[in-house]
C-alpha cells in the first residue's frame, strides 16, 4: 500500500466548513494552529503533550513532529485544516497533568494524542476520567496506562508484551539458555520490562544468572558490568532508554563482555547519541516497524526532509496514531467524546505500520519487528 492511499479518506465531509489558518510548527514548547469547524459547528482540535526538552526530548519531539506531519498530510489530502495544540512536559508527570488541563479547559481540544512517556501517560489517563476525553498515547508502553479508563487507548504494544516477545526470541531463536539483566531500578518502564523478561525467560526453561540495577542519573556501570562479565551469560538484557543503553554498551565492550545485548523499544534512537556505532554493533531490540518497509521508508524520508532529523519509532507511531484518531472522528461524525471512543473501540485501521485494531482494554492488536545494528544502521534482524 502506498502512503498516498493511506491519506485518502472521508474526514473532509466532517471538517470542510469554516476553515481558516495555518498548520502548527513543532519546534517550540507550545504550538497552535487555527481551528477547523465541523458541519455541526464544533471545532476540531487535536492536542498533544510530551518532553520537548531534557533527557527524553528526542522522544517528545519525535511524537510532536509525527502528530504535526499527520495533521498536515491529512489536511492537504482532504482539504481540511485541523487544529493542533501541544505543550512541553519536560518528562514530568505533574507538568503533563497541567498540560492536559490546559488542553481541555483552555484549548477545548476534541481529543489528545499523548503522552510520550509511560509515567506522564498514566498520570494523565487518571486525571482524564472526569472529562472522559478520548486519549491515545502513541508510545506509552506501561500496562496500567489503558487501565486508567475506557477513554484511554494506545498505539504501541505494551511493556509486558514486548518483554515477553524478546525473551521468547532470545530462547527460541538465539538459543540462549542463560541471561543477565541490567536495568534502571527507579524507572517504571525499565522495571516492567525486567520483570516480564525474567518471568518469561525462566518459564521457557532459561536461567537468569544475575540481575543488576542502577539509579537514574548514573553514568558509570562498571561495578554492575563486572559482575555480569563474571556470569558469562548468553544474552545481556538491557531494558532502558537510548542514552543509558549507549553508555552501557560502550562500557560492556570495554570489559570484554561478549554476551549478545538485547533490549526493548527504548533502544530506538541510540544511533543518534552513540559515539562509536561499533560499540553497539550486533545489538538486537524489538521495535514497532521494520526499517526496510517501503511505506515506512517513504514516510521517514519525507520526515527528515521536513524536520531535519531522522525519524524514530516514536515519530512513526505518532503519525499512525493521529491518522487512526482522525478516522475515528470521521466515523463518529461528531466531536462528542463518547461517540469518538465508541468508534475507536471498534475501529479497523490500516496505516503506515499496517493493520491495527484495539482489544477490550484499548491496547492494539498488531505485529512487531526485530531490529539489529549492522554497520552503523538499523536493519531488520536476519537480513
pLDDT band at 12 (very low <50, low <70, confident <90, very high): very low
Is 25 a residue whose pLDDT tops 50? Answer: no
Least Cα distance to 185 among 155, 222, 212 occurs for 212
Grid cell at residue 80: 481540511
Asked which of 157-161, 226-230, 374-378 is least confident by mean pLDDT, the reply is: 157-161
Give the model's pLDDT for residue 18.
26
Mean pLDDT over 180-192 rounds to: 94
Q: pLDDT tier at 344 (50, 70, 90 boundaries)?
A: very high
Is pLDDT above 90 for 141?
no
Q: Residue 149 and residue 140: Cα distance in Å, rounded?
A: 15
Short-list 358, 288, 293, CA closest to 319: 288
Report pTM. 0.74
Provide the pLDDT for residue 292.
Answer: 80
In this chain, the answer to whether the domains covering 3-157+293-365 and 159-287 adopt an identical fold is: yes
Least confident of 156-165, 172-181, 210-219, 224-233: 156-165
| Cell (9 digits) for 188 | 517504571
Q: Which of 70, 114, 65 is nearest to 89 (CA)?
A: 114
* pLDDT given at position 372: 96
pLDDT of residue 322: 98
Q: How far apart are CA 144 and CA 104, in angstroms?
A: 22
Per-residue pLDDT reduced to its tens digit, 209-266: 999 999 999 999 999 999 999 999 999 999 999 999 999 999 999 999 999 999 999 9
CB–CB of 274/322 below 8 Å?
no
- What are the phi and psi torsion angles at 22 (to 5°)? -125, 165
* Grid cell locating 369: 519487528
- Per-residue pLDDT reduced to its tens digit, 294-338: 999 999 999 999 999 999 889 999 999 999 999 999 999 999 999
The reported pLDDT for the residue numbered 42 is 62
User: Looking at the domain that runs over 159-287, which CATH code has it been given?
Assistant: 3.40.50.2300
Report domain extents, the chain. 3-157+293-365, 159-287
CA angle 16, 18, 22 (to 5 degrees): 90
End-to-end CA distance of the chain: give it in Å, rounded: 22
pLDDT at 289: 86
CATH 3.10.20.30 fits 3-157+293-365, yes or no: no
Confidence of residue 55 (pLDDT cuts 50, 70, 90): confident
Amino acid at each position: 500500500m502506498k502512503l498516498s492511499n493511506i491519506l485518502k479518506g472521508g474526514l473532509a465531509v466532517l471538517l470542510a466548513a469554516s476553515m481558516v489558518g495555518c498548520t502548527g510548527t513543532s519546534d517550540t514548547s507550545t504550538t497552535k494552529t487555527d481551528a477547523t469547524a465541523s458541519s455541526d459547528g464544533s471545532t476540531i482540535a487535536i492536542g498533544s503533550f510530551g518532553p520537548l526538552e531534557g533527557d527524553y526530548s528526542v522522544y517528545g519531539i519525535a511524537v510532536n513532529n509525527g502528530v504535526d506531519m499527520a495533521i498536515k498530510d491529512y489536511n492537504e489530502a482532504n482539504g481540511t485544516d485541523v487544529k493542533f495544540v501541544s505543550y512541553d512536559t519536560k518528562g514530568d508527570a505533574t507538568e503533563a497533568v497541567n498540560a492536559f488541563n490546559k488542553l481541555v479547559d483552555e484549548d477545548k481540544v476534541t481529543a489528545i494524542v499523548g503522552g510520550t512517556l509511560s509515567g506522564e501517560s498514566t498520570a494523565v489517563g487518571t486525571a482524564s476520567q472526569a472529562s472522559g476525553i478520548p486519549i491515545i498515547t502513541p508510545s506509552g508502553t506501561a500496562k496500567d496506562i489503558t487501565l486508567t479508563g475506557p477513554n484511554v487507548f494506545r498505539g504501541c504494544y505494551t511493556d509486558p508484551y514486548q518483554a515477553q516477545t524478546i525473551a521468547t526470541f532470545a530462547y527460541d531463536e538465539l538459543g540462549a539458555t542463560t541471561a543477565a539483566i541490567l536495568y534502571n531500578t527507579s524507572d517504571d518502564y525499565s522495571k516492567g520490562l525486567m520483570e516480564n523478561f525474567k518471568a518469561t525467560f525462566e518459564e521457557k526453561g532459561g536461567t537468569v544468572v544475575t540481575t543488576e540495577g542502577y539509579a537514574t542519573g548514573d553514568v558509570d556501570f562498571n561495578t554492575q558490568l563486572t559482575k555480569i562479565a563474571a556470569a558469562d551469560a548468553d544474552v545481556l538484557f538491557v531494558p532502558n532508554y537510548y542514552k543509558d543503553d549507549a553508555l552501557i554498551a560502550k562500557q560492556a565492550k570495554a570489559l570484554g563482555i561478549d554476551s549478545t545485548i538485547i533490549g526493548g523499544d527504548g533502544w530506538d534512537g541510540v544511533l543518534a547519541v552513540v559515539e562509536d556505532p561499533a560499540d553497539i554493533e550486533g545489538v538486537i531490540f524489538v521495535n514497532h516497524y521494520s526499517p526496510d518497509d517501503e511505506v515506512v521508508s517513504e514516510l521517514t524520508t519525507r520526515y527528515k526532509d521536513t524536520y531535519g532529523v531522522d525519524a524514530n519509532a516514536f515519530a512513526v507511531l505518532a503519525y499512525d496514531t493521529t491518522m487512526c484518531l482522525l478516522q475515528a472522528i470521521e466515523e463518529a461524525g461528531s466531536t462528542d467524546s463518547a461517540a469518538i471512543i465508541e468508534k475507536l473501540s471498534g475501529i479497523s485501521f490500516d496505516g503506515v505500520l499496517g493493520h491495527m485494531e484495539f482489544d477490550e482494554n484499548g491496547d492494539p492488536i498488531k505485529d512487531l519487528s526485530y531490529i539489529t545494528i549492522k554497520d552503523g544502521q538499523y536493519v531488520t534482524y536476519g537480513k
